[in-house]
Amino acid sequence: MSRKQTKLTFDKPLVLDSGAKLEPLTVAYETWGTLNQAKSNAILVCHALTGDQYVTGIHPITKRAGWWDNVVGAGKLIDTDKYYVICANVLGGCMGTSGPQDLKPDGKPSALDFPIITISDMVRAQAMLIEALGIDKLFAVIGGSMGGMQVLQWIATFPDKVFCAVPIATAARHSAQNIAFHEVGRQAIMADPDWRNGDYLAQKTFPSKGLSVARMAAHITYLSDVALHNKFGRKLQNREQLTYGFEADFQIESYLRHQGQSFVDRFDANSYLYITRAMDYFDLAETFEGSLTKAFGAFEGAACVVSFSSDWHYPPSESRAIVRAMMAAGVHVSSLEVETDRGHDAFLLDEPVFHIALSGFLQSQAEAKGI
């Protein structure tokens, strides 16, 4: 498997939804496999809030397998021997793409001077990358969670640049509950005295505690009640009895603390603020006169919408709204509601029913496209 790690900096600025101009724009990305002569075998994988471009193989920072290593790779479901797979770090991210840690002309980190970004801005930055790679039309755009939002935005903004789309465990807009959880995370970061009003890089501090709590709160939303109960129940952590104190007596506490702590080693606090904000602002219908059907109206490809029964973060009802709009728009849409008790994170795990569907969909589409 050939793997390249690259960054591209563009000459022309990216005009953001807010009206601000971002320049220079840098996009860090990874690719696997080879682009065929017809340039027809490119798959863009879009990562989630805390994901990054290291989809498969060993992650350079965590030294662990990439976030979709079980699905993407040579001979795997998204076969890098057959497809040219691209994943770019999202705009606002902290793995090389332009974000709040970028330096301003005065040499200081942008921090809160970085403009507010949207999902649509992320997608337009990806489109610039795709164009620079010489690809006119992507075979597929695939992503879960926030990655799924980007998939939906792709077929709305660039309907003729996508042959087929797979939005997974996602929603066409952020609900009040989604915004609420994000606000808790942001407030945790901002309440950390080391956040320094966003200026922690210049002041050589880091709001580890705040970012860690944000991650802990968010992580709960990625799992189902049943999954938590099955994995942890009320089991105690390395002890026989309660300590009658505030140590991590329960395994679930210890697990969440570990999740929080390991997150701060690989993620930036301001990036977390900017990206969660972009998700909160996401309401695809709003930019199409309030009609989700209109958003999908120009897309002539096929779509496969996947949701998971126990996902209360982006529940199946959100996917049904997407399917209903696609159906009304005449999209060649399939949908699957996978029965599982593993919650939102199921899209990252080995879920055979989901994987059979994804594989079947891609193969039938590849046949239709002649790859």
Helix (H, G, I), strand (E, B) or coil at 117: coil
Name the minimum Å distance from CB 170 to other proteins: 16
Does 213 contact other proteins by CB under 8 A?
A: no
Query: Rounded to an integer, what distance in angstroms lies between the CA atom of residue 353 and that of residue 347?
Result: 11
List, in sequence order, every beta strand (DSSP E) within 251-355. 302-308, 332-338
Least separation, in Å, of the C-beta of 56 and other proteins? Answer: 23
Stretch that binds other proteins, among 36-44, 211-219, 238-246, 321-329 (CB under 8 A): 321-329
Judged by CB under 8 A, the stretch of 25-33, 88-96, 254-262, 354-362 that binds other proteins is 354-362
Contact 249, 239 (CB under 8 A): yes
Site membership for other proteins, residue 171 (CB under 8 A): no
State the number of CA atoms in the 13 A half-sphere of 363 facing the CB: 8
Is the alpha carbon torsion for 47, 51, 53, 57 positive or negative? negative
Closest CA to 266 of 215, 231, 317, 309: 215
Does 360 bind other proteins (CB under 8 A)? Our answer is yes
Answer yes or no: are the C-beta atoms of 170 and 149 closer than 8 Å: yes
Number of residues that bind other proteins (CB under 8 A): 26
Q: Which positions from 276 to 305 touch other proteins by CB under 8 A, shown as an x/- string?
A: --------------------------x-x-
Q: 243, exposed or middle or buried, with CB in 10 Å at 0-12, 13-18, 19+? A: exposed
Q: Where does this chain touch other proteins (CB under 8 A) — which range of 104-112, 167-175, 240-248, 318-326?
A: 318-326
The span from the CA of 174 to the CA of 154, in Å, is 17
Stretch that binds other proteins, among 7-15, 95-103, 113-121, 352-360 (CB under 8 A): 352-360
Q: Please report whether residue 349 would count as binding other proteins according to CB under 8 A.
A: no
Q: Exactly one of 76, 283, 332, 341 binds other proteins (CB under 8 A); which one?
A: 332
Residues 6+ apart with CB under 8 A from 364: none
Q: Which is nearer to other proteins, 230 or 363 (CB)?
A: 363
**Nearest CB to other proteins, comparing residues 221 and 365:** 365
Measured from the CB atom, the residue of 56 and 335 that comes closer to other proteins is: 335
In this complex, which beta carbon is closest to other proteins, that of residue 80 or of residue 335? 335
Regarding 76 and contact with other proteins (CB under 8 A), the answer is no
Contacts of 180 (CB under 8 A, 6+ apart): none
1 lines the binding site for other proteins (CB under 8 A): no
Close Cβ partners of 191 (under 8 Å, ≥ 6 residues apart):
210
Tokens read off for 240: 């026989």
Residue 364 contacts other proteins per CB under 8 A: yes
Helix (H, G, I), strand (E, B) or coil at 338: strand
The residue (of 60 and 360) whose beta carbon lies closer to other proteins is 360
* Interface with other proteins in residues 36-75 (CB under 8 A): none
**97 is a site residue for other proteins (CB under 8 A):** no
Q: So which residues are the catalytic ones?
A: 145, 311, 344
Binding residue for other proteins, selected from 39, 196, 257, 320, defined by CB under 8 A: 320
Q: How far is CA 70 from the centre of its chain?
A: 17
Closest Cα partner for 143 from 297, 306, 5? 306
301 closest CA partner among 190, 128, 186, 160: 160
Among 154, 263, 282, 361, binds other proteins (CB under 8 A): 361
- Of the pair 121, 318, the CB lying nearest other proteins is at 318
DSSP E strands, the chain: 3-10, 14-15, 21-22, 25-32, 42-46, 72-73, 78-79, 84-88, 138-144, 162-168, 302-308, 332-338
Beta bridge partners of 138: 162
| Of 154 and 354, CB closest to other proteins | 354
Among 328, 341, 349, 371, binds other proteins (CB under 8 A): 328
By CB under 8 A, name the binding residues for other proteins. 302, 304, 320, 323-324, 327-328, 332-339, 353, 356-357, 359-361, 363-365, 367-368
